[in-house]
């Protein structure tokens, strides 16, 4: 096949490319164990090249005896890695020196391991530019991928109550429920008995929360320059197909719309790109590794960005660059097919491309993906902070006109709340009114209804600890009114 390693050089002769998910530099073969770990990690992940003859500062030091070093590396690989790995090894000229390049392609007989460390401790995967020892869950997934199956296709013998056939019928009204369970692999025949698959339980199981306690979404709204001020959080426990709508409802609770408050469905009026975030949430739900335990899917709304984070890194053979180009590999085939049949996935491989295209249309920076230990994070920039600061990206700044039905006391109340949360009695007392329901309904409730004010304990309306505070939209409204001459 031939190695296509064509190095780019800086002006000082050093290599321009940094180490990455598919590239690692070594000065020499004096530490062969580290070289073997890198090759194993590449084979278990997305493939890659180990380049020998490069210093830590990217300077090209070359190899003194290329033929001898090539033979030595080939013998090391044959003796040290199991099952047998056959990388391409070549000498490549860089300037006036020769470097040794060993290229590994994603292999089908995963997991590979360093023989001296054993099959349980010698498995490594590539995480960014590091070689990380795989845990048991990762090794199990590598084995499933090698066998051509997925965790959501396996039978779940722990289920006692079966699937919610009413929910299946509602999701697929044109299908026979029994046929849908078989065709979509929601159930499977195992040892003479029909049992739900893991995917079936995750999608329609009556015992989903017991059997998969991490299959839920944590939503948080964080304010402040450092993002440490948690002002609201919500735990979403619901069938997977319902979670995108619930996440969107949480985001809308804390985002704000454009000038025309009657156009509820104009996504571009919101201070966060709801369609991009929804795509990221759907991708996370479809590709999350439900075989692992370690926390739920997370959606974190900061002033200038939204994180969508799921369990499990990229599948073997996948890179972030490949995702951007439309390459798709499905971790959960049952879940992915149901999402597609339900109309929540349009076409394989185009979701990430749509996210980047939509960001460009909105004038936003591109979303980015970050691989973390055991997790994958999508970072989506927003205009929320810019609009809060008065730098709205369009002529439709999120303001409420004075004739919008707000009480005349709105300005005074919002100014008071700008100093911090207040009780209902404190707010009404500032207006010279008693703490009565009618006064609250006339002066405070309209501000809550249009999203300028929110309760600190929305689920405990009668709590003695209840306070009222400004929302982000309230801050924008107040700043706008203070700056306008009228």
Ranges of each domain in the chain = 23-147, 151-211, 217-387, 410-483
Question: Does pLDDT of 43 surpass 70?
Answer: yes
- State the virtual CA torsion across 269, 270, 271, 274 in degrees, nearest 10: -130
Measure Cα distances from 471 to 142, 223, 449, 453 in Å.
46, 11, 12, 5
Question: What is the average pLDDT across 293-319?
Answer: 87
Q: What is the DSSP string of 255-294?
A: S---S-TT-TT-GGGSSS-HHHHHHHHHHHHHH--TT--S
Question: What is the average pLDDT across 443-469?
Answer: 84
**Burial of 42 by CB count in 10 Å (0-12 exposed, 13-18 middle, 19+ buried)?**
buried
Q: Which residues contact 380 (CB under 8 A, 6 or more apart)?
A: 272, 273, 276, 277, 280, 305, 306, 307, 308, 355, 359, 367
Task: Provide the pairing of β-strand 97-104 with 48-52.
Answer: antiparallel
Peptide bond into 83 cis (omega under 30): yes
Determine contact, residues 280/273, Cβ cutoff 8 Å.
no
Phi, psi angles (nearest 5°) of residue 444: -100, -45
CATH classification number, 217-387, choose in 3.30.565.60, 3.90.700.10, 2.40.50.70, 3.30.70.1060? 3.30.565.60
Separation of alpha carbons 294 and 269, rounded Å = 36
Phi, psi angles (nearest 5°) of residue 232: -165, 150
- Supply the pLDDT for residue 215: 94
Which tokens belong to 329? 């590999």
- 410-483 maps to CATH 3.40.1410.10: no
Which neighbouring-strand residues pair with 455? 468
In the block, tokens 């995702």 appear at 323
| Dihedral over Cα of 434, 436, 442, 444: its sign | positive
Q: Give the orientation angle of helix 274-287 with respect to helix 333-341, to 10 degrees.
A: 140
Band of residue 260 on the pLDDT scale cut at 50, 70, 90? very low
- Supply the pLDDT for residue 454: 86
- Supply the pLDDT for residue 264: 33
- Supply the pLDDT for residue 397: 39
Which neighbouring-strand residues pair with 9? 15
Which neighbouring-strand residues pair with 220? 233, 300
Question: Does pLDDT of 373 surpass 90?
Answer: no
Question: Does pLDDT of 402 surpass 50?
Answer: no
- Supply the pLDDT for residue 57: 93
- Supply the pLDDT for residue 348: 62
Q: How many CB atoms lie within 10 A of CB 369?
A: 17
- Supply the pLDDT for residue 261: 35
How many Cα atoms occupy the beta-carbon half-sphere of 182 within 13 Å? 6
The predicted-structure confidence for 206-254, as pLDDT tens digits, reads as follows: 999 999 999 999 999 998 767 788 889 999 999 999 999 999 999 998 8
Helix (H, G, I), strand (E, B) or coil at 52: strand
What is the DSSP-derived secondary structure letter of residue 350? Answer: -
Band of residue 327 on the pLDDT scale cut at 50, 70, 90? confident
- Least confident stretch, 163-177, 290-304, 443-457: 443-457
More confident residue, 462 or 403: 462
Task: Provide the pairing of β-strand 375-381 with 187-190.
Answer: unpaired
Tell me which CATH homologous superfamily contains domain 23-147: Schlafen, AAA domain (3.30.950.30)
Question: What is the average pLDDT across 6-34?
Answer: 92
Q: What percent of the chain has pLDDT over 70?
A: 91
pTM equals 0.69
- Supply the pLDDT for residue 394: 42
In the block, tokens 């991490």 appear at 214
Mean pLDDT comparison of 181-190, 328-337, 462-471, highest-scoring range: 181-190
Q: Give the orientation angle of helix 410-417 with respect to helix 472-483, to 10 degrees.
A: 120
The predicted-structure confidence for 53-91, as pLDDT tens digits, reads as follows: 999 999 999 999 999 999 999 999 999 999 999 999 999
Question: What is the average pLDDT across 341-364?
Answer: 82
- State the virtual CA torsion across 410, 413, 417, 422 in degrees, nearest 10: -130
Largest CA distance in the chain: 92
CA 138 to chain centre: 18
Which tokens belong to 221? 């709204």
């Amino acid at each position: 096949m031939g190695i296509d390693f064509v190095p780019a050089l800086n002006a000082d002769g050093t290599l321009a490319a940094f180490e990455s998910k598919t590239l690692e530099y070594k000065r020499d073969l004096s530490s062969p164990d580290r070289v073997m770990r890198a090759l194993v990690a590449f084979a278990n992940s997305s493939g890659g090249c180990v380049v020998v003859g490069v210093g830590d500062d990217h300077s090209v030091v070359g190899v003194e005896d290329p033929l001898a070093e090539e033979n030595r590396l080939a013998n090391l690989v044959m003796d040290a890695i199991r099952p047998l790995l056959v990388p391409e090894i070549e000498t490549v000229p860089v300037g006036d020196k020769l470097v040794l390049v060993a290229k590994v392609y994603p292999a089908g007989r995963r997991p590979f391991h360093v023989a001296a460390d054993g099959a349980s401790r010698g498995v490594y995967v590539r995480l960014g530019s590091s070689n990380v020892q795989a845990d048991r869950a990762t090794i199990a997934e590598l084995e499933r991928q090698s066998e051509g199956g997925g965790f959501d296709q396996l039978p779940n013998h722990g289920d006692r109550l079966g699937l919610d056939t009413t929910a299946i019928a509602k999701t697929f009204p044109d299908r026979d429920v029994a046929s849908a369970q078989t065709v979509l692999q929601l159930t499977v025949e195992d040892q003479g008995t029909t049992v739900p698959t893991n995917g079936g339980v995750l999608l329609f199981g009556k015992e989903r929360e017991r059997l998969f306690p991490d299959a839920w979404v944590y939503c948080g709204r964080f304010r402040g320059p450092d993002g440490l001020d948690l002002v609201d959080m919500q735990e979403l426990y619901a069938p997977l197909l319902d979670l995108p709508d619930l996440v969107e409802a949480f985001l809308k609770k804390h985002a704000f719309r454009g000038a025309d408050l009657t156009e509820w469905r104009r996504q571009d009026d919101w201070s966060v790109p709801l369609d991009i975030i929804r795509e990221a949430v759907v991708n996370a739900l479809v590709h999350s590794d439900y075989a692992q335990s370690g926390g739920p899917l997370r959606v974190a709304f900061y002033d200038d960005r939204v994180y969508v984070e799921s369990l499990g890194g990229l599948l073997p053979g996948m890179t972030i660059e490949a995702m951007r180009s439309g390459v798709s590999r499905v971790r959960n085939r049952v879940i992915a097919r149901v999402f597609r049949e339900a109309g929540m996935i349009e076409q394989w491989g185009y979701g990430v491309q749509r996210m980047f295209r939509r960001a460009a249309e909105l004038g936003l920076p591109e979303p980015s993906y970050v691989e973390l230990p055991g997790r994958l994070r999508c970072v989506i920039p927003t205009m929320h902070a810019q609009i809060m600061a008065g730098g709205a990206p369009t002529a439709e700044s999120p303001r409420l006109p004075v004739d919008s039905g707000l009480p005349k006391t709105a300005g005074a109340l919002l100014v008071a709340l700008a100093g911090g949360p207040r009780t209902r009695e404190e707010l009404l007392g500032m207006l010279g009114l008693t703490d009565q329901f009618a006064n609250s309904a006339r002066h405070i409730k309209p501000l809550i209804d249009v999203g300028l004010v929110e309760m600190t304990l929305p689920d405990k309306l009668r709590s003695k600890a209840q306070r009222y505070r400004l929302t982000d939209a309230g801050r924008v409204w107040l700043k706008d009114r203070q700056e306008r001459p009228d």
